[in-house]
Structure 1
């Protein structure tokens, strides 16, 4: 499942790199790199140091689901469309 998260990150990076609005790409990187850092840190801690609690495992699964969900991408697209329409009306 971790490879799926990485694949989603790269596909989004490629697509958002084609757009004019750099803020979307920056936000994409910030959210995904932060989320990947958190779940990787928890996984490495669980593997090498001490087993983490079920609530921390649930947090890691939730973060991963958010990262692979299209909701973030769609929300950024809707926000971008809204901002462009507001700029055209001004």
Structure 2
């Protein structure tokens, strides 16, 4: 292990393990593992957020389809019973009153 004094007159003493080629391999390996872990956490977070967005969009689409079907069935029922409904045109209402 090699310790290096910094320029702060010995206040900070930095120690690194140096291999035969002179690189601080141990520190690099720790940093690589830390970077990999951070990247994995971020990828997981982004994947979960993307999945939530897809589910939300699917739920919104299903709600719209259900609302349209309910409206259609209600208007169909009102037509069968003979009650004019909101989507009837003014001309249809006048024709119905004149008859």
Larger helix proportion of the pair: 1
* Fold-level similarity (TM above 0.5): no
**TM-score normalised by length of structure 2:** 0.32
Does 1 or 2 have the higher relative contact order (CA < 8 Å, sep 6+)? 1
Larger radius of gyration: 2
Q: Which is strand-richer, 1 or 2?
A: 2
